[in-house]
Structure formats: structure tokens, C-alpha cells
Structure 1
């Protein structure tokens, strides 16, 4: 794949089942070696997007290239370049972890010696060597997810689709999975991640798109998305009620709390905004004890953009 080309590029993707619109002409561009996260409520079309881009189903309209290959013209080339981990584990619980890995090696047409080498290396990488010869049915949820991704990596994919990979995991297992995903990207893999955990997208993604009613309703970095939503503020804390009163009179904006000795002033938290605010206070010798910056989080963004009335009428899967 040409390093200058995006790992995934799609234009006008659409999908409907009868009168039910699932995707309504979405476009995506994912640079190589990055994590792209697709957010959205249940039924927004996230899984359908993954299914189309991974060649599991065909789009009704639009074009896409994955790992440099045209989705419609060269689906086999796309399949050879990608790995997919769905919401539900592909692990066979009736056999051991090692047997699962060797089965995947056979599916990728690796000879026996190479298959065993690759399986052993991946089991070690994902800290599964000790459990390798135990039935997968005895694995914890986190272990099963690690095995699932290890199986996906047998074919050395350039692009990995992770469809809600941490659903059902406890916080420790989820954080372990985040570290695995970061390591994959550090090795040059591109990750397309769907998730309902907003913190997960905030922690991992280089870019985020919010899908609602089959349409992309917002896209950007986590910080760019947060700036779309009003509500940022700077909270000033004072030790002296008289200083609080002076600041409130001077600024003539914000929410004053006489009991907590705080003044909440609207602001985006940027350096120029903070400098201007502190310069005003300093020029009038107002003594501020401390300040904290509060910006909208992805929860605020999510509910703001998915709650728009114009999208509520769009029927989706």
C-alpha cells in the first residue's frame, strides 16, 4: 500500500433494507497508522459501516478503498489486507487457545512450522502462553478478547476493524485492551474502532466521527469536537469573600458561589483567554487563590449532536 494514501477512504456510502435507511451517504478518510473511532447510539449504523468496509455486505451506493484496494473491484485483496474483531468473540471455546491460533494459521495458508512460530509469538505477546493449552472456555472475558485479537493478527493485517472490542470487560481488562490497541498502531497498523464508551474514544482515537441516523453529524479530534459544544468555563477560587466580591463586580459575568468562594466565568480554557482574564484581575490587584479550567467532554458532544431533531426522523438499523 502506498504510504501516502489513506488506509480507508469512502465517499457516499449508503445502505437500506427496504424503507429502512441504515447509511445515508457517509464519507470517511482514515490516515495510515492512526486510530479512527466511529461513535453513535445503538442503531446508528456503526456495525453496518464495518460490515461494508470489511466486505461482509455490499453497499447500495458509494465507493470505498481499503488498504489501497477498491472495495467493489477487488474484495479479495481487501480481505487479505484486513483483520476484523466483532462485538462477539470468534474464539472457539471447545478447543485450546493454541488450537484456535493454529486453526487461524491454517486459514491463512501458513505451513505448519511457520504457523506454530507465528502462533507462539502472538500468544507470548498477548500474555497467553501459560493458558495456551487450556480450553478457551476457561478464559476470562479479557483473556478471550486478547486471544480474539491475537487470532486477527495471524495474517499480519494492515487495517484492523475493532467493533466494540471492550464491551463487557471490567475496567482493568478494558485498560489492558487500550494498551494493546496503542501498541498495534505503534507497529504501523491502522485501527478502525467502533465503541459506545466515550472515554475509550477520547483516550485512543486520533480522529472521531459521530454517526447518527445513518449520517456523520460531527467529525474531528477529541479536542475539536469538544469545542463545538458551549459550556466551557474557568472556575476562580478565592480565600477572601471581599476578593470574590471585587472580582464579581469587575468581571460582571459568571456564576458566583459565596459559600464555596468561587466565581465561574465563561471561557474556552485557551491560553489567550486565560491570559486576558488573569491580566484583568492582576491589573486591579484582585487576589485569586487558584483556578481550574472546565471544558465540555465527549458525553456533552455526543448528546448535543445525536439529539438534533432533524436526525430523529431518520430511520436506522
Structure 2
């Protein structure tokens, strides 16, 4: 376990002399001395460098493959996306939404965006996105971009480009980006944090 978590060189050092990241890795290693049937991990990769984070992720995947049930809380959304079979989105102490990463992303939809060369094209592009997505487009006049969230699973990038072209919209670029769990988190919780400065976080997290 010390080898697995990159702690072999520090094996003879008192734990109090280890860095914060090393102590987090040591905590996880100690919890695996006996192979548990259920393992609770509370934000296990907070403060870890990318290499150490990857070691933890590999360990969690190996535990899952070996039959261990892992309950993991995290505010690092990529972590939940990569590791979780099921996610519970906790908003101010209550479970707000549950589902697999794919199911939660389907609640938000893909983000369609067009980049145009002039302000007149921006207005026309907004009309096309409004019609295609049924959502109110967001215009950025400075960057000359317009985007909208689409929950239509049949909307594809080629169709988006064809529709813009048919409407006579000159394009600099167009994209259709699948939602991330960051998008899901911000959309389903409203993106509002707590006003209480004494709280350690905003009361929102993912349990995977």
C-alpha cells in the first residue's frame, strides 16, 4: 500500500512530519489494510497533485472491480464523472437529484453555440438557435457569440450548421458541446452559494 500510494520513501517518518497531501494518501492506505466491503471516502483527493489524484482514482476503480462498494463525497466534479456509477446531488443538506452521470447530463442538455463576424448576424443566429433549442439564447456582443442549451437529442452539429446556413448566417465557428457535470451542478442548484462566510462550503456537493 505504501508503494501504491507513493509513500515508500517516507515509511519510517512520523505521520506528523508528512505534508497534507501525503497524509491524505496515508489515510486512504490505512483504510485499505483490511479489504473493506464498503468504503466511505470524504473528499479524498482535495489538495492532491494530479499524479497522486490519479493514484487514488486507480485505487477506487480497482476496489470497485473487486466488489467493494465505495461511497465518495466530492466537490471535484470531474472525479465524480470518471468514477461514479450513481450520483446524488446534495443541495443545502437535501438530495436534490440522483442518477448516473449520463442521466444527470441529459437533464441539462448540450450547449449549441455560433460565432459570427458581425452584429447583424448575431441577431439572426439567435433566431435560429431559439427555434432549434426552444431555449432563450445568450448573446455576447463583444465576442459575437450566441449560445443556447438544447435538450433535443436529435440536434447534431451538421444540422446546426445547415440551419444557420439556410438562414443566411455567416459563420466563423459553430459547436455543439455535451454538458459537463459542472454544467449540471450549476444548472440544477442555481449556481448560488451560501451568504454565510463562516460556512466551509456552499452546502452543495456530489455523493458518488
TM-score by length of 1: 0.47
More divergent stretch after superposition (123-132 vs 244-253): 244-253
Instruction: Report what 1:177 is aligned to.
Output: 56
Q: How many residues align?
A: 184
Instruction: Report what 2:42 is aligned to.
Output: 163
Give 1:146 deviation, angstroms: 1.7
Do 1:217 and 1:306's aligned partners in 2 also have CA atoms closer than 8 Å?
no
Tell me: CA distance 1:269–1:200, structure 2 relative to 1, closer, same or farther (3 Å): farther
Instruction: Report what 1:239 is aligned to.
Output: 117
Query: Which secondary structure does the structure 1 equivalent of 2:147 belong to?
Result: strand
Do 1:198 and 1:298's aligned partners in 2 also have CA atoms closer than 8 Å?
no
Instruction: Report what 1:205 is aligned to.
Output: 84
Cα shift readout 1:136-191 (whole Å, capped 9, x = no counterpart): 11111222222222222121223311123234x24545455334433433444331
> How far apart, in 1, do the equivalents of 2:67 and 2:74 lie?
21
Q: Cα RMSD over matched residues?
A: 3.5
Within the alignment, does 1:125 sit opposite 2:12 as a pair? Answer: no
In the TM superposition, what are the counterparts of 1:294-313 in structure 2 within 5 Å? 295=179, 297-301=183-187, 303-304=189-190
> How far apart, in 2, do the equivalents of 1:157 and 1:127 lie?
21
Instruction: Report what 2:72 is aligned to.
Output: 193
Instruction: Report what 1:154 is aligned to.
Output: 33
Query: Which secondary structure does the structure 1 equivalent of 2:10 belong to?
Result: coil
Q: Could you list the runs of 4 or more consecutive aligned residues of structure 1 that deviate by over 6 angstroms after TM superposition? A: none
In the TM superposition, what are the counterparts of 1:58-137 in structure 2 within 5 Å? 122-137=1-16
Instruction: Report what 1:313 is aligned to.
Output: none
TM-score by length of 2: 0.66
Structure 1 gaps, min length 5: 1-121, 308-317
Within the alignment, does 1:217 sit opposite 2:96 as a pair? Answer: yes
Instruction: Report what 1:84 is aligned to.
Output: none
